[in-house]
Structure 1
């Protein structure tokens, strides 16, 4: 893994094994690989009931009546609840806009919306009872696109909408609108020698995490409830759950259960409130586990999008202007749509320097499935379009597509279209240079003396071709993704660090509310503690709400923000430990007064390496504990008229080169290689860094050629809610993914690090599309690409 750049000085604990910069192994890795890890769906409690949700069979309808009598009469059923059974006046929730009903009331707004919940002594009993609930619907016309949503006579998805975005949108069926206007696009058009336009369609994707939604709610003796849950954000869940239950937050205790992936799909609530309601109603623990079919309806998806772009450039390839309109379909409820709009618009030009910009991004309310957070969060959709435009521009100008990008690449100091300067390294040109310089995979790998190896061919083991009509293509793309929450959000994390002697050895315990969803925070947190405290033994306390919020495991923010909180807490613990040592042992050695005492390898040492004492002797039977909050620098909302403002904290950059082979007769695609170069600031755990980049790259591959939730345009019903019909990449689809890691420290971030998890998902998708275009000569302005798009079949 080649590295380059400004090294980040790390002295404290640098001699302690398993610290920052080492490829330490995950403590949960073996358990997950062998199937022994306990996920939330594995939880069990004595005398436990099972919960089941009845979901709407139509996308838009008035609820005329609900008859629960037969369900209640079913042997083994303990409770059936509808909207009218909710215990408080608070009956809605939401991340930012509280527009989502706990259970449908008056009407349903999307296919699969929860209507009623059941608790029974066996999961099959609960399912049969839910099926006995009779709901009489009076169907309404469905709103499925911008034309139907914003027509003068359009039915309103939310008739009584009341939120702070309503005054800034031209129609109540628009959730949010964000323009980004800088310079003078009309004047810039006059300077352009070449102008290219494009209409792009981006499909709806599912997060497709392998562990469906599940949780266990246990009523407690004080009238509260303890929820064991797979989530991305414990304290956000708590904030939304407690008012619905009519309980103070300190009586809703939450502990993170094993999470089988997330990618944004667990940032919103799913079954949390339903399990708690049933547990409090029955007085018994209630477990809810979605099957895969339910999971497709039970969480938000990635926003599908329609994007119109216009790029202008001078004859030498210098960008003159970018004009764009981005329409995101948010579905029936707001979820994270306002923030997704903010990202899509503010990052809609990509990692390029251009002075004259006019972008409008909106998100719609429709009767399609609700959409919210998914890896890349608005920047993915924009990147697909602006990178296709850069290729169009390069072709029209006769300039190499990588060279065109390098000529316009932003760098440190570049002003974004929002007017915010990029104040940390932005090595866009260097990443492009590196990824282009990586060795190319051999041609015609399927050929051998024994005959064709079909595994290397488009279609793979389906044995559909032996190389006839197979053409190779190469494509490039680069993207920019913000790190952390933006636009004035109070983004912080809390860490509690304790240091004590256990069994004669100094041990550090790190307690945060960070949701470990597979990103590897449990490894990095221990590495930070070892580095800062100089101990080998570090215990990661289970995440729960008995410590302050860590925010969401999303936006590539956890290592930055929660890592920063742990680092700060450890530094304070270290100061307290050294002060304790000075009081206890300092009189024995004058070096205790040294200003640069370090903790390293379980000992107190001077900066010259002289050992003063064992940490166990310093601590004795005392414990040192600190709880510390950490905030990054402040951001501000974008101006709702111009989009100007310092809205983001940090940026992450990745570039990809895709090599594909296409059977042009059958419309089959084989991605041979997806090479990536990415700046990570500082690789705290190099092995984990490469794993995150390869995982994000593979997810972008799925977006490019296979993943799409299909919604019937006339009924707004989901047509493919299963892994039989919704395809995700398997190991047989995953190409070679060589990774070149660049380390250019961001001086504003702990250890100089950058969030890394999302950036590779941006540029991998347009790189694959660019390679397929190069192989076929087709325009291909939608994703995912299907065989019929390559063969002309209807």
Structure 2
């Protein structure tokens, strides 16, 4: 699982300070996490603390006829029970883009597991038992569960009378958002095609399955406000939604990031934040809420399931003529980030290919299924699965190698997307395909090995693994390829920025930099990178990363592969501002005649340190002794603009990332079992600020894509009820399922980005899924147009007679 760094960036790397940019420095939280000593938000404790619990709807769509909390309130140990009618402020709804989600259900419930009431008690089991005593009378309503039931004449309206900025350009109130993209003339181009391939594809609902369910602690303050310690992805977006519902100004709601066990988009929406604060303010006591895994499946959004139809045409020499597609995403009961997911799905639906004539439509529905929103890949995952299947089918129709066909149509720098936006940084699509294909293939029949006991079969290397269901009979190998394109950063005119505060002072005789941002560290390694940036830009060794909270300006969300780019950019700029202050002090004191200062000055101006680093640090300490130098700066990337709601044209994205995979699988066609033997990846990251962390991100994203390919799906029945809200029935890859993942990292600098970097965390999640499916198709000859693949999809019926 080693990473191989290739093609170094041409941009300056700044000073050569140890532990700086380009080194694989160790994570400060790494040892604590692997030894189980790291403090997650669920580990928090406060004297005289109460426990909160949420009563959830057993129905997907029902009128709330009545709620009786009297029996729950009479239970010993219960301090408070709240329903919608007890909310203290006029604002009773929240949402990332559209404020359509009630804090507690009012009038009706719209999805299975929707919060109806909350309880605070002196023990978690007391709160749970009290919630069970709340009597809610429901009258079930017809369920909207797909496009047909959502848009049919007379269909129940999920949000009747809603009035928001999306209503004017959607054809039905049960459609959250719709984005067409039209460029060129797809119908005319079709006439030039020698081969036309159409296909319908389906993507199941995937869960983020992060480590550590939702949890937080709300502490009422003497000033009438509240301090919230929470595991989240976006402190300031939470604050923006929480404060109005509590009836408090934002400065009375103070938020501090607590230990986060991963996120992948699932912590971008609110879960229990408002509930904990409401109970704390009502009782006057600290209130802690910790979801179990069952509650967590209902408490956060999931990846949008999708139904997709594509049509592609190509000439006999393997050039794409046109593309048509329609992508229908199920957004569930509330909007969450569905409008932005639609924008991504539509604008990236052509993939990393040059195709001038396109006709695209993407939309998201309101249904009574679980709410869906952000998840790693954010709309591009669903499209990539479908368009990569199409590429394989076209290659087969034309008798071309699937990699060669992709390379003939691969975009490069200067290519124009269907939205009319030019790709103005390196786009090495053909090159990463070449590299991943050139990697050595793993040996055949790896299960044939002599063990100490004389056996010749290692069942761990077989489909079915340790369940010992096969010994190699009927096992066939397949190889498949895929490549994807993912945008980096928030898009479509969103004011995407980050803030960093950097302070430099002498502590214990040594210069120490302090970096303070509101960036949520959710496992991506930002705390490591920020320290590396400070060392590189300031020439110091000691860097302290202060806890993320709302006492500093917003850093935006830890999502969209944006934090290293945007918050890293803010830290870099703040360090540069502090560096200028140091230079002014140093020049005033030493001029250019002191040898140690001359070396330090060279370092701070971006040159290479050629003498003893201790001498440099000593001179820095002499300059700033007794001083506190500080800069607090916002940083913005170049602006984007919304896509036109009729044509889809617009400069909608900031940057693009590209990854390619080759999957090697072995399939037992009798039992329908799959073993992914290897998932090789080649990816351009612009500049690997921390190479080991970059490879880890690529391998993690690859594994998540593998999960969607062969095992992960939230099963929702026709009554819109979730049938598998636990890790007993919702399967994710374990170490036994995770294959070898060799990684080839390219570093082709993007001149628009700090250090030339390119967001890296999401792209491998796109291409790993279709690569696995391509390999399974290669092994079995089956069409397989749905993920995840189940065993019943893979068993090959013997020919009749």
> How far off is 1:448 after superposition?
2.3
* Residue in structure 2 matched with residue 573 of structure 1 by the alignment: 578
Q: Is the 8 A contact 2:13 2:755 kept in 1?
A: no
For the pair 1:4 / 2:6, whether they are aligned, the reply is yes
1:209-232: CA deviations, max 9, x gaps?
A: 011000000000000000000000
* Residue in structure 1 matched with residue 501 of structure 2 by the alignment: 496
> How far off is 1:161 after superposition?
1.0
* Residue in structure 1 matched with residue 229 of structure 2 by the alignment: 228
Residue of 531, 550, 556 corresponding to 2:536: 531
> How far off is 1:451 after superposition?
1.7
Using the alignment, how far apart are the partners of 1:411 and 1:769 within structure 2? Answer: 26
SS in 2 for 1:360: strand
> How far off is 1:9 after superposition?
4.0
> How far off is 1:48 after superposition?
0.2
Using the alignment, how far apart are the partners of 2:219 and 2:15 within structure 1? Answer: 42
> How far off is 1:421 after superposition?
0.3
For the pair 1:554 / 2:545, whether they are aligned, the reply is no
> How far off is 1:598 after superposition?
2.4
Q: 1:651 to 1:11 in 2, by over 3 A?
A: closer
> How far off is 1:12 after superposition?
3.6
* Residue in structure 2 matched with residue 788 of structure 1 by the alignment: 792
1:140-182: CA deviations, max 9, x gaps?
A: 0000000000011101000121110010100000000000110
For the pair 1:292 / 2:267, whether they are aligned, the reply is no
* Residue in structure 2 matched with residue 323 of structure 1 by the alignment: 324
* Residue in structure 2 matched with residue 166 of structure 1 by the alignment: 167
Q: Is the 8 A contact 2:597 2:619 kept in 1?
A: no
> How far off is 1:614 after superposition?
1.1
* Residue in structure 2 matched with residue 485 of structure 1 by the alignment: 490
Using the alignment, how far apart are the partners of 2:721 and 2:729 within structure 1? Answer: 15
Q: Is the 8 A contact 1:536 1:602 kept in 2?
A: no
Using the alignment, how far apart are the partners of 2:607 and 2:389 within structure 1? Answer: 55
For the pair 1:18 / 2:22, whether they are aligned, the reply is no
* Residue in structure 2 matched with residue 81 of structure 1 by the alignment: 82
Using the alignment, how far apart are the partners of 1:575 and 1:300 within structure 2? Answer: 45
* Residue in structure 2 matched with residue 217 of structure 1 by the alignment: 218
Alignment of 1:208-607 (within 5 A): 208-449=209-450, 450-586=455-591, 589=594, 597-599=602-604
SS in 1 for 2:358: strand
Alignment of 1:96-245 (within 5 A): 96-245=97-246
Using the alignment, how far apart are the partners of 1:716 and 1:39 within structure 2? Answer: 33
Using the alignment, how far apart are the partners of 2:445 and 2:592 within structure 1? Answer: 74
* Residue in structure 1 matched with residue 56 of structure 2 by the alignment: 55
Using the alignment, how far apart are the partners of 2:613 and 2:130 within structure 1? Answer: 73
> How far off is 1:604 after superposition?
9.3
1:516-546: CA deviations, max 9, x gaps?
A: 0000001000000000000110000000000
Q: Is the 8 A contact 1:144 1:716 kept in 2?
A: yes
Using the alignment, how far apart are the partners of 1:11 and 1:447 within structure 2? Answer: 48
SS in 2 for 1:660: strand
Using the alignment, how far apart are the partners of 1:60 and 1:9 within structure 2? Answer: 56
* Residue in structure 2 matched with residue 666 of structure 1 by the alignment: 671
Q: Is the 8 A contact 2:333 2:369 kept in 1?
A: yes
Cα RMSD, aligned residues only: 1.9
For the pair 1:716 / 2:716, whether they are aligned, the reply is no
Q: Is the 8 A contact 1:90 1:244 kept in 2?
A: yes
* Residue in structure 2 matched with residue 748 of structure 1 by the alignment: 752
Using the alignment, how far apart are the partners of 1:114 and 1:610 within structure 2? Answer: 61
Using the alignment, how far apart are the partners of 1:587 and 1:108 within structure 2? Answer: 72
Q: 1:576 to 1:669 in 2, by over 3 A?
A: same
* Residue in structure 2 matched with residue 702 of structure 1 by the alignment: 707
SS in 1 for 2:6: coil
Q: Is the 8 A contact 1:598 1:606 kept in 2?
A: no
* Residue in structure 2 matched with residue 94 of structure 1 by the alignment: 95
Using the alignment, how far apart are the partners of 1:157 and 1:370 within structure 2? Answer: 12
> How far off is 1:788 after superposition?
0.2
1:597-652: CA deviations, max 9, x gaps?
A: 32399999999999696111001111101001000000000000000000000000
Residue of 772, 775, 779 corresponding to 1:771: 775
Using the alignment, how far apart are the partners of 1:736 and 1:612 within structure 2? Answer: 43
For the pair 1:649 / 2:654, whether they are aligned, the reply is yes
> How far off is 1:583 after superposition?
2.1
The more displaced of 294-303 and 579-588 is 579-588
* Residue in structure 1 matched with residue 698 of structure 2 by the alignment: 693
SS in 2 for 1:479: strand
Q: 1:22 to 1:600 in 2, by over 3 A?
A: farther
Using the alignment, how far apart are the partners of 1:523 and 1:609 within structure 2? Answer: 22
Q: 1:429 to 1:56 in 2, by over 3 A?
A: same
1:78-108: CA deviations, max 9, x gaps?
A: 0000000000110000000000000000000
Using the alignment, how far apart are the partners of 2:606 and 2:432 within structure 1? Answer: 37
Task: Show structure 2 runs of 5+ residues with no match.
Answer: none
> How far off is 1:594 after superposition?
11
Q: Is the 8 A contact 2:61 2:142 kept in 1?
A: yes
1:291-333: CA deviations, max 9, x gaps?
A: 0000000000000000000000000110000000000000000
Using the alignment, how far apart are the partners of 2:714 and 2:175 within structure 1? Answer: 22
Using the alignment, how far apart are the partners of 1:77 and 1:596 within structure 2? Answer: 64
SS in 1 for 2:127: helix
Using the alignment, how far apart are the partners of 2:415 and 2:605 within structure 1? Answer: 41
- TM-score normalised to the size of structure 1? 0.98
Using the alignment, how far apart are the partners of 1:322 and 1:445 within structure 2? Answer: 41
Task: Show structure 1 runs of 5+ residues with no match.
Answer: none
Q: Is the 8 A contact 2:179 2:346 kept in 1?
A: yes
* Residue in structure 2 matched with residue 628 of structure 1 by the alignment: 633
Using the alignment, how far apart are the partners of 2:361 and 2:246 within structure 1? Answer: 40
* Residue in structure 2 matched with residue 731 of structure 1 by the alignment: 735
1:247-301: CA deviations, max 9, x gaps?
A: 0000000000000110000000000000000000000000000000000000000
> How far off is 1:584 after superposition?
2.6
Q: Is the 8 A contact 1:536 1:601 kept in 2?
A: no
Using the alignment, how far apart are the partners of 2:596 and 2:685 within structure 1? Answer: 38
SS in 2 for 1:775: helix
Using the alignment, how far apart are the partners of 1:587 and 1:322 within structure 2? Answer: 64
Using the alignment, how far apart are the partners of 2:70 and 2:289 within structure 1? Answer: 22
> How far off is 1:10 after superposition?
3.5
Q: Is the 8 A contact 1:515 1:553 kept in 2?
A: yes
Q: 1:600 to 1:616 in 2, by over 3 A?
A: farther
> How far off is 1:596 after superposition?
6.5
Using the alignment, how far apart are the partners of 2:237 and 2:27 within structure 1? Answer: 27
- TM-score normalised to the size of structure 2? 0.97
Q: Is the 8 A contact 1:605 1:612 kept in 2?
A: no
Q: Is the 8 A contact 1:341 1:378 kept in 2?
A: yes
Q: Is the 8 A contact 2:13 2:21 kept in 1?
A: no
